[in-house]
A and B are shown apart, each in its own frame.
Chain A
């Protein structure tokens, strides 16, 4: 293939099509250039105009998301979002997909996904302090699932563990719609001082453009275009474009960048992610309103005889582009060499808003930057709204015994403990993990302070499929709830919007609906979007995935000593449900997995006012010391949530509450279960009345069983066994 990727080949419309450009897009490019592009220029335009880089199908809708608030220092538009967490500290975070590469080569795909998102964060001056991952796999019984789970998990661990950033949370779902199209979304959160944040914009005509990090090889050429193209069975052919990650080099790059960032030598810095050298140089120069000249002969290469096209489009990992203040090259070079990394001045900023590239003494590309960066057409793709679904029909349903339903849910793919996964992640390195995987939100202390960050990733794809608007709201609300349950204040979110083919109106309708719901929730909850990523064309042979707009929420608590956990901590405490329980079984796990009813019906509605009121109440009562454990009620409803709280520290709970299956397994939104010790009871109920919040005492902690009078008694040990065994059994081939 490489023989064709140079300027000796004349560009034709066919070649443009092979690059994923439509005929109209190609005509626009010819128009912008005033001539036919050469092969290198075509390659550059095609990646910059790919869905992945240009957001051409999604931009119109992303613009509608709320992105502002007093806590927002940097919203979408930079490598990652930045929020104020007080005292001059900031949290910098983003989530990104690596779906297609992970399907093709799960270990390397997932590993490089983690590496890429960490670079987005440390590029901005942050030290990464936590990683999370949102994963979706096909059915557990699908022949590829085990292999993909094993590879993805060890790839995420392999990268994060080595670089020494704790992986503290995430989520996993299994569904047939992901059989041919898994989702691997990685989130990274870092911290930096507010006066030490670095941006991508490059300014200062004549300033040197510097390449640092690993050498360039032929890795992942056309990766960006591939991520924007649907899979078909022949896509196995694209395999050699897989990138291999080198976490050791990334660790060195991180430390070297931090060292240089302590000085004031850097004007702008940008990681080389999708579309490598091309997108980083285009973005830096365009944001700074300057031009850029690059001499590819200076680029450190790992392989011989690379063409200019290949160098510009290579997606070799662990590389960064910087613009330095003139005269500071030597000091920077010394740092990078000390860390054993390549350092090369490969060009300079120019006047005129163009990108000019030389290779082997010849000019091989000369393109207008505006058209490269923002010139891709913005599509308003046709979209049809997802039809409203009927309510769940409870008549004619035979409910199994509640005890049996509970056991079946606790050992279900969606609820079973994810310990098999998170024990492969170093969740404690850096010595600040207060709450790692297994709780609601993870809590990571801001090093050397009393503050802690709370982080969670959430979305319920089956809700989004049935009702994109409610599903979009619910994803944001659940992140808000998880963070609130620790006592932390939710501050802002990032997202990773995974959808099928946007050229199909019903998929575009899902996208538009989910964004509508998300936007409403962000506004109502003061929980703006500060960064994100879109992954479209998640389809195999025309079957799309469930719409999966993953939300990564971040919050802060001023004193981590006031944070609480999700498990019962004492006997004889009162257990309350906050929020009303109407028994909403539509789209519940109970409907799907216990009743085995696949009917697409309305998911639970999200009352954003109640979400906010309940979240504020939970946080206030935690801060007042009235609530000593809290857990949100989500998948599986009340009884699953109670079981989870009991299993955490092996403390049982008994209830006199009378309820049917709908009561115990309904997934009504906006609810929490909290533990209130006897001496806090009066204060708690008074606070609830004052706040006008619906609270309902349902039992007391103690013993080593889960008991509901006249309904069931199950030992916590048995629940734990059922809950713990599913994943190891799946992975060892015992089940499935």
Chain B
């Protein structure tokens, strides 16, 4: 199985997620540079957290327009699984692979802390190792994680079971609509989420709740 992590200038969770992918697959992922116009065929493409291009205009907007993203979109259309974490989620919405947009946190501050998440759909390619409605703890770290979409988009997300994770009651760190923490496309193979599963994939770092996401997708793709 071939996994790749896209490295944008300003990505800063690329190494963290590579460590988790290597633990799950047994081999280090391919680290793909943003400026490359081509990308070997991949089974899983990860857009890591960070501040791509400084996130200076809108988070993820410049990365979404980078050469490598044309490749990522093309491979996604051919069926590759895509995981966008934090900044990666922002990039996925900016490039249209996922609907909606991530706006500034309603608290107006960057927030880094553990959050309680509910696995709202434990059926997709990423989440199948969790129990439906299981509560897990995964940290967030972002300034723009407030998921927003219009009413009809939100209704459609619900209808097609595209909401993968929601923040636990009273634990929404950013004001996201419907407490949305992560969504997928209709196929369930493209997942974008604000919380960082790679930061909770090892007991020494506080817990292993994030680990099943990586082992889960690797199993699905095997």
User: Do A and B have CB atoms closer than 8 angstroms in the complex?
Assistant: yes
Contact with B along A399-440 (1 / 0, CB 8 A): 000000000000000000000001111111111111000000
- A residues within 8 A CB of B165? none
Q: Is A131 an interface residue (CB 8 A)?
A: no
Contact of A154 among B49, B55, B109, B204 (CB under 8 A): B109
How many A residues are at the interface, by size bracket?
20 to 34
Q: Is the CB of B112 within 8 A of A423?
A: yes
Tell me the total A-B contact number using a CB cutoff of 8 A.
Answer: 81
Q: Is the CB of B9 within 8 A of A248?
A: yes
| Smallest beta-carbon distance A661→chain B, Å | 35
Contact with B along A210-253 (1 / 0, CB 8 A): 00000000000000000000000000000000000011110110
The segment out of B11-19, B91-99, B116-124 that lies at the interface is B11-19
Q: Is the CB of A251 within 8 A of B12?
A: yes
- B residues within 8 A CB of A433? 205
Q: Is the CB of B12 within 8 A of A427?
A: no
Which residue of chain A has the shortest Cβ distance to B108 in the bound complex?
A154
Q: Is A445 an interface residue (CB 8 A)?
A: yes
- B residues within 8 A CB of A431? 13, 15-16, 19, 198-199, 205
- Given the complex of chains A and B, what is the CA–CA distance between A170 and B56 in angstroms? 28
The segment out of A157-165, A185-193, A290-298 that lies at the interface is A157-165
| Smallest beta-carbon distance B113→chain A, Å | 5
Which residues B33-90 have CB closer than 8 A to chain A?
49-51, 53-56
Interface residues of B, count at CB 8 A:
27
Q: Is B103 an interface residue (CB 8 A)?
A: no
Q: Is the CB of A427 within 8 A of B54?
A: no
Q: Is A340 an interface residue (CB 8 A)?
A: yes
- B residues within 8 A CB of A430? 12, 15-16
Q: Is A174 an interface residue (CB 8 A)?
A: no
Given that A425-B112, A434-B204 are known contacts, is A252 also in contact with B16, CB under 8 Å in the complex?
Answer: no
Which residues A133-169 have CB closer than 8 A to chain B?
154, 157-158, 161-164
- Given the complex of chains A and B, what is the CA–CA distance between A367 and B13 in angstroms? 47
Q: Is B29 an interface residue (CB 8 A)?
A: no
Given that A246-B54, A248-B51 are known contacts, is A424 also in contact with B12, CB under 8 Å in the complex?
Answer: no
- Given the complex of chains A and B, what is the CA–CA distance between A426 and B13 in angstroms? 11
Q: Is the CB of B196 within 8 A of A428?
A: yes
- A residues within 8 A CB of B24? none
Given that A248-B9, A251-B9, A431-B15 are known contacts, is A154 also in contact with B112, CB under 8 Å in the complex?
Answer: no
Residue of B53, B110, B143, B205 most packed against chain A (CB within 10 A): B110
- B residues within 8 A CB of A251? 9-10, 12, 51
Q: Is the CB of A164 within 8 A of B112?
A: no
Which residue of chain A has the shortest Cβ distance to B198 in the bound complex?
A431
Q: Is A336 an interface residue (CB 8 A)?
A: no
Q: Is B139 an interface residue (CB 8 A)?
A: yes
Q: Is B221 an interface residue (CB 8 A)?
A: no
Q: Is B30 an interface residue (CB 8 A)?
A: no
A-B contact pairs, 24 of them (CB 8 A): A162-B12, A164-B12, A164-B13, A246-B54, A248-B51, A248-B53, A251-B51, A252-B9, A422-B112, A423-B109, A423-B111, A423-B112, A423-B113, A425-B112, A426-B112, A428-B196, A428-B205, A429-B16, A429-B49, A429-B141, A431-B205, A434-B204, A445-B204, A561-B204
The residues of B with any CB-CB pair to A shorter than 8 Å are: 9-10, 12-13, 15-16, 19, 49-51, 53-56, 109-113, 139, 141, 143, 196, 198-199, 204-205
